[in-house]
Amino acid sequence: MMTIDNRPIGQQHPCFIIAELSANHNGSLETAIETIKAAKKAGADAIKLQTYTPDTITLNVKNDYFRLAHGTLWDGKYLYELYQEAYTPWEWHEQLFNVAREEGLICFSSPFDNTAVDLLQSLNAPAYKIASFEIMDIPLIKYVAQQGKPVIFSSGVAELIDIELVIQTCKEAGNHQIALLKCTSSYPAPLDMANLNTIPDMQQRFNTVVGLSDHTMGIVSPVVAVSLGASIIEKHFILDKSVGGPDAAFSLNVAEFTEMVQAVRQAESAMGKVSYELNEKVQKSRLSSGRSLFVAQDVKAGETITPDNVRSVRPGYGMPPKYYEQVMGKSFKQEVAAGTPLQESLFS
């Protein structure tokens, strides 16, 4: 289990649902604020930002190394151009954190370099998220872990050896508040690439809180993930997809995010707990509709119990059918009318 801003997170607690703001403010502070407020109404537990500038995440160079051409939504753009369009201005951060807190949302962010960590520390960020493509940046992870706050990792481009190394890095820094999110770093990600069965394996293999950072379309993956043990769900959130933006295509709008939250909560309710006990309603149903032994014909004292005069039928008010063979051949002590539940007191 881990705790973020006094909120316990783990399988014994409700799933921690994160609305990812990312670039869905489209360069408007007002839109960013309205998105945070909408996320609260949609049922999110937290809002997550991304803290970088084009200069802290890449170089302003236009050669083929820096040009996207790998089957992404952003192919043809240079990295610097993309991040110039997508970043959240640092001067917004304090106000966005304050709005989130006023709304009752936990607010934290993904830092992409040490200066971003310093900014977030100054805002008393309660946790840090390491994005998929930063999971190999061990110096950054070491610096984040040293802040003593919970660290959530997306595993989108990580191999086992990478995950083992980041966990080791955190623990060597004295930080054991670690969560791992299954993630498919494709935007959007096809459902058949989700591989959600990795979630319980991650939990068993690494003994951490586990969850899902989801880039698939729709809400199927989050609901399935919760049923497989996910304690955290992160999903990109947007006010209106028609406004566009770098992440709009794989983000959920207000109605969709609300539907996802409701479906996740219903899935949690349906999963319940391990139990073989019958509640009062089911016990009554067992009596009214279950099978039991009943006297099927009017009988007289001294008559032998046979398959003709005692049968296993519904309802369940007589002896359980497991005693059927044992009672055959016994004798009735008295007259018994058809339709009487068979009880031990009626025969010898």
pLDDT score, position 47: 98
The answer to whether position 348 is within a domain reads no
User: Same domain, yes or no, for 193 and 315?
Assistant: no
And the tokens for 165?
């190394």
Q: For residues 103 and 36, is the Cβ–Cβ distance under 8 A?
A: yes
Location of structure tokens 């991040």: 83
Question: Strand ranges (DSSP E) for 166-252?
Answer: 178-183, 209-214, 232-236
Lowest mean pLDDT among 143-152, 181-190, 331-340: 181-190
**Cα 97 to chain centroid, rounded:** 24
User: Same domain, yes or no, for 287 and 216?
Assistant: no
| Domain coverage including residue 287 | 280-342
pLDDT score, position 186: 72
Q: Rg for the chain (alpha carbons), in Å?
A: 30
CATH number, domain of 308, equals 3.90.1210.10
Q: For residues 49 and 94, is the Cβ–Cβ distance under 8 A?
A: no
pLDDT, tens digit, for every residue of 156-181?
888 999 999 999 999 999 999 999 99
pLDDT score, position 72: 63
The answer to whether position 70 is within a domain reads no
User: Same domain, yes or no, for 201 and 171?
Assistant: yes
Is the pLDDT at 345 greater than 90, yes or no?
A: yes
pLDDT, tens digit, for every residue of 30-65?
999 999 999 999 999 999 999 999 999 999 999 999
Q: Is 18 helix (H, G, I), strand (E, B) or coil?
A: strand
User: Same domain, yes or no, for 117 and 156?
Assistant: yes
The answer to whether position 289 is within a domain reads yes
Q: For residues 213 and 181, is the Cβ–Cβ distance under 8 A?
A: yes
- Cα 235 to Cα 232: distance, rounded to the nearest angstrom: 10
Is the pLDDT at 149 greater than 70, yes or no?
A: yes
CATH number, domain of 191, equals 3.20.20.70
Tell which wins on pLDDT, 321 or 283.
321
User: Same domain, yes or no, for 184 and 292?
Assistant: no
Q: By C-alpha distance, which of 251, 246, 252, 200 is closest to 225?
A: 200
Of 271, 290, 321, the position where a domain reaches its end is 271
Q: For residues 292 and 318, is the Cβ–Cβ distance under 8 A?
A: yes
User: Same domain, yes or no, for 169 and 141?
Assistant: yes
Is the pLDDT at 74 greater than 90, yes or no?
A: no
Q: How many domains does the structure of the chain reveal?
A: 2
The answer to whether position 82 is within a domain reads no
Of 223, 246, 271, the position where a domain reaches its end is 271
0.85 surpassed by pTM:
yes
Calculate mean pLDDT across residues 215-220. Answer: 90
Of 217, 248, 271, the position where a domain reaches its end is 271
User: Same domain, yes or no, for 12 and 139?
Assistant: yes
pLDDT score, position 5: 96
Q: What is the 3-state secondary structure (H, E, C) of 108-157?
A: EEEECCHHHHHHHHHCCCCCEEECHHHCCCHHHHHHHHCCCCCEEEECCC
Question: Which residues are CB-contacts of 228 (< 8 A; sequence separation ≥ 6)?
Answer: 196, 197, 199, 200
User: Same domain, yes or no, for 189 and 238?
Assistant: yes
Q: By C-alpha distance, which of 4, 5, 9, 46 is closest to 231?
A: 9
Question: Which residues are CB-contacts of 97 (< 8 A; sequence separation ≥ 6)?
Answer: 107, 123, 125
The answer to whether position 34 is within a domain reads yes
User: Same domain, yes or no, for 172 and 231?
Assistant: yes
Which helix (H) or strand (E) segment is 96 a member of? helix 93-103
Is the pLDDT at 344 greater than 80, yes or no?
A: yes
The answer to whether position 63 is within a domain reads no
The answer to whether position 27 is within a domain reads yes
